[in-house]
Structure 1
Amino acid sequence: MPVISDPAQFNEEELYVDLRSALGLPLYLKCEGFNFAGSIKMKAATEMVDAAEREGLLRPGSVLVESSSGNLGVALSVIAASRGYRFQCVTDVRCNEASVRLMESLGSRVHIIEEPDTHGGFLGARIAYVRRLCASDDRYVWLNQYTNQGNWKAHYRTTAPAIARRFPRLDVLFVGAGTTGTLMGCARWFWQWRRRVHIVAVDSIGSVTFGGPPGRRMIPGLGTSVPPPLLDMSYIDDVVRVRETDTVRMCRSLAHRGFLFGGSTGTVVSGAGQWLDHHGRRGLTAVAIAPDLGERYLDTVYREDWLTEGAESELAGLMAAPR
């Protein structure tokens, strides 16, 4: 086992779950939640902070600020605490309470946006608030995960080559799309070094990332209400869109087999299953990236009455509707 002094020095890179026995699905799930931030966002956070330090953007007295639906905020909280920075996360009401408490426990401040922007949704409102903060005080340093090249370079450097080493005959890779950092880093690497690998992006219905109509989304993580600047569709072979009701079903199906994953993972696995059902399952080596674990979703996705309460009634109706 490694001996570390910095939480960013540890990340389990080689763990995969074979879903054939759990779900009857010929899919290997790369688990990215085993680090001190609990999600794949630890990689992007580390890459972006390291670059900001090299470029002299972070100085004594600097205050990191970032818009996040939860996981990147936790990752930046871990790094800020370990390196002596202050950090403010700007999130919105969909962020899991567990993520908010984690960030605050690590010494970060959390500002929660209560109302969406008319055109940009919650993401647009979060970004507008970050811009106002930066305009008010030059101590704020916005890494801007939505345009920061380190977001995708982290996965070009680590995630994609790790998958290629383990699966040299990989046929298809499923990657969830949020900021599209993970997606673009992996897609660019495979395009350059293993061009025959089919790249399938998985998105939530209601997201505008791939041009779909905007709609209400309740599960944080994947999907956006503003087109992601990092996305380059020339690297993507297919897109699968997943209903949030199917995300919940998949999360609970995995949990019933002992695997407690987060909402983003449930979406990716559900999308992979849809694609494999449509294109055929035999003879393919398929991998999906699991961005997170499920503890932060215990009060939402995994709570039996979540879909029937208050603001969730609309989603509950969809869950009960025939497919």
Structure 2
Amino acid sequence: MPVISAPHAYNEGQLYVDLESIMGRSLFLKCEGFNFAGSIKLKAAVEMVEAAERDGLLTPDSVLIESSSGNLGVALSMIAASKGYRFLCVTDSRCNLSTRLLMEALGSEVHVIADLDANGGFLGARIDYVRALCAADDRYVWLSQYTNPGNWRAHHRRTAPEIARQFPQLDVLFVGAGTTGTLMGCARFFRTWHRPVRVVAVDTVGSVTFGGEPGRRMIPGIGMSMRPPLLDESYVDEVIKVEEADTIRVCHRLARRGFLFGGSTGTVVSGAMDWLARHDDMGELTAVAIAPDLGERYLDTIYQTTWLEDLYGEHVLGGEEVTAGSPAAEPALPTPVGGREPLNGAP
């Protein structure tokens, strides 16, 4: 039984869900939501804070500041509370209410940006606000998850090796693309592994991470309104983009079987199922996808009927909108709207 004295000292990294009985295809889902921050962002938060401490950037008078759509903000709130730092999270109106309340319960200050940037998102406006505060007061320390190498190093050191130990015959890995820290850390690790692994990035329609036109995105935690500075596409074999309606249907399908996951997980599973369906001719593959968080923080959004119908229409759930006691119907698989040819040497 583990005994800890700091909340970030506990992070379960060896739990996987076999989705074959639910989704009809073999896919092992790595669950990253079982820690006191509730998401995979705890790894990057610990890495970045401890690096700033080693470099002497943080002092007792420092105020941590970060732009976050939610999960990193919670992780930093928890660490700041544990270590005695003040923390200001700059987020936007898409951030789930429960996430904002959680950060405030941990003693953090939350500033919500409501103005869109030039790409129709909030990220540019959030970063502008952070930069203005840092320029006006040198007590602010911006970790900058978008450019901080600690973001991807955390997953190169921890997430990818955890997968490698559990699945020594791994063929394909599906990773959601937000800041691309998880994607880059895992892709760099498996590029030099003992066997070739195809790394498939899963993005959301409306994101400009891999190019394309910006569009409306209502589910936080995946996609970007600017190209992520950490992204190096030479490590990515393929890209799949998923419509938010497909994300929602997969989330509800998993929930009907007792697994309540967040929106990023629904996106990654949707994209993975599409990819696997299109690669039946490759035979039996060992496939893993990363689930960044659980679903409790999305109860007032993707699991709330009024929110869904207002944004996506009354038929968004399709076959997943079932009455109590009725079996869930099979939803249509998503169709990728972006992507590219795999790199040479990919299996």
Same fold (TM over 0.5): yes
Q: Secondary structure at the match of 2:49?
A: helix
Inter-partner Cα distance in structure 2 for 1:195 and 1:55: 36
1:299 aligned residue: 300
One-letter amino acid of the counterpart of residue 60, structure 2: P
Give the CA deviation at 1:233. Answer: 0.4
1:69-101 Cα distance to aligned partner (Å, 9 max, x none):
000000000000000000000000000000000
- Describe how 1:283-322 pairs up with structure 2 within 5 A: 283-309=284-310, 312=311, 315-316=312-313, 319=316
Partner letter of residue 286 of structure 1?
A
Matched residue, 2:43: 43
| TM-score (norm: length of structure 1) | 0.96
Does the C-alpha gap of structure 1 residues 120 and 244 become closer, same or farther in structure 2, counting only changes over 3 Å?
Answer: closer
Change (3 A) 1:297 1:118: same
Amino acid at match of 1:218: M
Partner of 2:183 in structure 1? 183
- What does residue 63 of structure 1 align with? 63
* Pair 153,120 (structure 1): closer, same or farther in 2 beyond 3 Å: farther
Alignment match, 2:4: 4
**Structure 2 unaligned spans of 5+:** 319-331, 335-347
Q: Is the 8 A contact 2:248 2:317 kept in 1?
A: no
Once the two structures are TM-superposed, the CA of residue 121 in structure 1 deviates from its matched residue by 2.4
Does the 8 Å contact 1:245/1:318 carry over to 2? no
SS state of the match for residue 74, structure 2?
A: helix
Does the CA contact (< 8 Å) of 1:261 and 1:294 recur in 2? yes
1:57 maps to a residue whose letter is L
| Structure-1 separation of matches of 2:84 and 2:2 | 23
CA contact (8 A) 2:119 2:214 kept: no
> Paired residue for 2:173?
173
Match of 1:101 in 2: 101
Q: Secondary structure at the match of 1:66?
A: strand
Amino acid at match of 1:139: R
Cα distance in 2, alignment partners of residues 131 and 163 from structure 1: 37
1:110 is paired with a residue whose SS is: strand
Q: Is the 8 A contact 1:120 1:226 kept in 2?
A: no
In the alignment, is residue 229 of structure 1 matched against residue 229 of structure 2?
Answer: yes
User: Does the alignment pair 1:197 with 2:201?
Assistant: no
Instruction: Please name the residue that 1:152 is paired with.
Output: 152
Query: SS at 2:185's partner residue?
Result: helix
Bigger shift: 19-28 or 178-187? Answer: 19-28
Cα displacement string for residues 82-124 of structure 1 (whole angstroms, at most 9, x for unaligned residues): 0000000000000000000000000000000011112472000
Deviation of 1:40 after TM superposition, in Å, equals 0.1
Structure 1 residues 193 and 93: CA distance shift in structure 2, 3 A: same
User: Residue 257 of structure 1 corresponds to which residue in structure 2?
Assistant: 257
Deviations 1:213-237 (A, max 9, x none): 1000000000000100000000000
Query: CA–CA distance in 2 between the matches of 1:319 and 1:48?
Result: 39
- Percentage of identical aligned residues: 70
Alpha-carbon distance in structure 2 between the residues aligned to 1:41 and 1:302: 22
Q: Is the Cα contact below 8 Å between 2:120 and 2:214 reproduced in 1?
A: no
Q: Is the 8 A contact 1:57 1:141 kept in 2?
A: yes
What is the letter of the counterpart of residue 109 of structure 2?
R
1:219 matches 2:216:
no
Are residues 195 and 134 of structure 1, via their aligned partners in 2, closer, same or farther at CA, if it must alter by over 3 Å?
farther
The question of 1:208 aligning with 2:202 is answered: no
- Work out whether 1:282 is the aligned partner of 2:283: yes
Identify if the C-alpha distance between structure 1 residues 320 and 79 changes in structure 2 by more than 3 Å, giving closer, same or farther.
closer
- SS at 1:101 equivalent: helix
Q: Closer, same or farther in 2 for the Cα pair 1:161/1:84, shift >3 Å?
A: same
List, as ranges, runs of 4+ consecutive aligned residues in structure 1 with deviation greater than 3 Å. 317-323
SS at match of 2:65: strand
Deviation at 1:52, TM superposition (A): 0.2
Deviation at 1:251, TM superposition (A): 0.3
Counterpart contact for 1:172–1:197, Cα < 8 Å = yes
Question: How many Å separate the matches in 2 of 1:258 and 1:320?
Answer: 17
- In structure 2, do the counterparts of structure 1 residues 49 and 320 end up closer, same or farther at CA, with 3 Å as the change threshold? closer
Where does residue 83 of structure 2 map in the other structure?
A: 83
> Which digits, 9 at most, give the CA deviation of each residue in 1:96-153, with x for residues without a partner?
0000000000000000001111247200000000000101100000000000000000
Structure-1 residue corresponding to 2:136: 136
Q: Which amino acid aligns with 1:189?
A: F
Normalised by the length of structure 2, the TM-score is 0.90
- What pairs up with 1:233-248 in 2 under 5 angstroms? 233-248=233-248
Task: Out of 118-127 and 153-162, give the one that drifted further.
Answer: 118-127
The alpha-carbon deviation at position 194 of structure 1 amounts to 3.9
Partners in 2 of 1:89 and 1:11 — Cα distance?
22
Measure the CA separation in 2 of the matches of 1:112 and 1:221: 16
> What is the CA-CA distance between 1:21 and the residue it aligns to?
1.2
For residues 219 and 54 of structure 1, what CA distance do their matches in structure 2 show?
35
> Which residue identity does 1:176 align to in structure 2?
G
Name 1:52's counterpart in structure 2.
Answer: 52
- 3-state DSSP class of the match of 2:192? helix
